[in-house]
Amino acid sequence: MQSHTFSLLTQALNDLQQWKASFGAFSLDETLLVDSYKSAQVFETLTQRLKGNYPFHHPVYAGQMLKSPHEVAWAAYALASSINPNNHALDGGPPSSEMEKEIMPMLADFFGYGDTFLGHLTSSGTIGNLEALWISRKIHPHKKIAFSKNAHYTHGRMCEVLGMDSVTIPINYHGEFEFSTVEPAEIGTLVVTLGTTGLGEVEPLDQALEWAQAHDIRIHIDSAYGGFFRSLKDSDMIDGTSWKLMQEADSIVVDPHKHGLQPYGCGAVLFKDPAVGRFYKHDSPYTYFTSDELHLGEISLECSRAGATAVAFWATLQCFPLKEKEGYGPILAKCRQAALVGFDLISNSEKLTAYKKPELDILTYFPISESTKNVSQISELSRKVFQKGMDDQSFFLSLYKVPAGDFAHFHPDYVADEENVTILRSVLMRPEHADFIRELIRRIESAI
Ligand SMILES: *Cc1c(COP(=O)(O)O)cnc(C)c1O
């Protein structure tokens, strides 16, 4: 943490303490007192145990979709959670609820929805998607949810929760949906993933919209991981085609706790048509009493939600606007650059081969086997390199399983002697990766 943020947090906590004391002195109940020796011991143990984490804060960590939040976010979170407001309803935390109501138009504007929309923060991408699918069921009660095999696994699970049938639409090797395999009349909503969790692939929203609009099918965009890449839609860093069309979709999910610099517990769902609010309406005798406005709790499937989440994201958005040239854009551009540089280095490497060209900031690759051309050899080498990096603490990657058929399509020199191939995967989601990628690839190569 930069000492500046640390002193801001200390100052702010002191300031809040004065506000807390302004209601009159009272002493903490004796049942809540902790022996100072005991708490010191607990914190010592805690610190030791937390060091058992992988270094999510550091660019040597180039594995799963995990990173530490921005310090502004967690300092703001810590500050707010010392009060613990609940964004279920305005009364649960007026300031943090207001902040959530200020955040949502910023997100709506970012995704192109304009002024009329309905949206709120959720505790995760899964819950955001669940809400979007739940609304789909309200609108098309007897129809199915369709998604590709690259969609997040929770969509299938959420369909089960909702008691809905789902159908998987194949994606061909050009990355297009094969709509001819499904009966459009049976489908109520198509989920389009902009930034798949595995490879960071962007499904063709243009193709999906054309098909869906012709058959009166809703479109839900799952951009839990990829959403913030929309900040680069007009740049030459990514193919902006799908990103530029997001406002055409009926609903959108994004996870600020992935690329939005937030601590966990921060997802968001937005609906283009605010009239879907009617499906959320309920009447609870004990929660609403001060406002005639639609409470956040009235447009959310969840009840209690941490007000601190909204406070943290609000504070972050003040420092980092959702723009291409300022705030989020330059951060995402560095991540994307890391993937492009990494891909170049690997393409020229004698020890590594890229599995596919990255579309966003997820790089997949594998060690070249000199002895055989069997895919089982690649799996073995990948696991070895993965383990060696962790043992030496010099790099942290993730493993990724690809069906051998897909693998052989992109790398026809290899023999599919196993059903799946295990390769290496790096989510380069820290802007520091743009510089560190050279060192990272060098370290990986020397571990082979
Ligand atoms: C991460 C992810 C999810 C699930 O979000 P959680 O916040 O982990 O619940 C859903 N869809 C996509 C595309 C994701 O990357």
Give pLDDT tens digits for 61-96: 999 999 999 999 999 999 999 999 999 988 899 999
Instruction: For residue 124, give the ligand 1 atom closest to its CA.
Output: 7
- Are residues 184 and 242 both part of a single domain? yes
Q: Could you give the angle at the alpha carbon of 86 between the alpha carbons of 82 and 91, nearest 5°?
A: 115
Segment 142-148 shows an average pLDDT of 98
Last residue of a domain, one of 319, 337, 364: 319
CA of 436 to the centre of ligand 1 (A): 26
Q: 284 in a domain, yes or no? A: yes
- Are residues 366 and 282 both part of a single domain? no
- Are residues 290 and 336 both part of a single domain? no
Q: At which residue do the structure tokens 């967690």 appear?
A: 74
112 Cβ inside 6 Å of ligand 1? no
Q: 308 in a domain, yes or no? A: yes
For 303, other C-beta atoms within 10 Å of its C-beta total: 12
More confident residue, 311 or 370: 311
- Are residues 378 and 232 both part of a single domain? no
pLDDT of 22-55, one tens digit each?
A: 999 999 999 999 999 999 999 999 999 999 999 9
Q: 380 in a domain, yes or no? A: yes
CA of 279 to the centre of ligand 1 (A): 24
- Are residues 333 and 442 both part of a single domain? yes
Continuous H helices in 297-392: 307-319, 328-347, 375-392
Query: What is residue 291's predicted lDDT score, i.e. its pLDDT?
Result: 40
Cα–Cα distance, 319 to 229 (Å, whole number) = 18
Segment 102-113 shows an average pLDDT of 97
More confident residue, 287 or 358: 358
- Are residues 261 and 153 both part of a single domain? yes
243 Cβ inside 6 Å of ligand 1? no
Q: Which amino acid is at 99?
A: M
197 Cβ inside 6 Å of ligand 1? yes
Burial class from Cβ neighbours inside 10 Å (0-12, 13-18, 19+) for residue 134 reads: middle
Query: What is residue 287's predicted lDDT score, i.e. its pLDDT?
Result: 45
- Are residues 300 and 359 both part of a single domain? no
Percent of the chain with pLDDT over 90: 90
Question: DSSP assignment of 32-82, as one string?
Answer: G---HHHHHHHHHHHHHHHTTS--TTSTTB-SSS--PPPHHHHHHHHHHHT
- Residues 425, 363 contacting (CB under 8 angstroms): yes
**Residue identifier of the C-alpha nearest atom 5 of ligand 1:** 125
Q: 264 in a domain, yes or no? A: yes
Judged against a pLDDT cut of 50, whether residue 289 lies above it is answered with: no
- Are residues 350 and 293 both part of a single domain? no
- Are residues 216 and 270 both part of a single domain? yes
Q: 102 in a domain, yes or no? A: yes
225 Cβ inside 6 Å of ligand 1? yes
**Residue identifier of the C-alpha nearest atom 3 of ligand 1:** 125
CA of 267 to the centre of ligand 1 (A): 9
| Domain extent for 357 | 328-446
- Are residues 122 and 265 both part of a single domain? yes
CA of 303 to the centre of ligand 1 (A): 20
61 Cβ inside 6 Å of ligand 1? no
Q: 162 in a domain, yes or no? A: yes
Q: What is the number of structural domains in the chain?
A: 2
Query: What is residue 293's predicted lDDT score, i.e. its pLDDT?
Result: 55
Q: 59 in a domain, yes or no? A: no
- Are residues 276 and 370 both part of a single domain? no
- Average pLDDT along the chain: 95
Judged against a pLDDT cut of 70, whether residue 60 lies above it is answered with: yes
What single-letter DSSP state applies at residue 263? P
- Are residues 187 and 304 both part of a single domain? yes
Q: What is the CATH number of the domain that holds 180?
A: 3.40.640.10
376 Cβ inside 6 Å of ligand 1? no
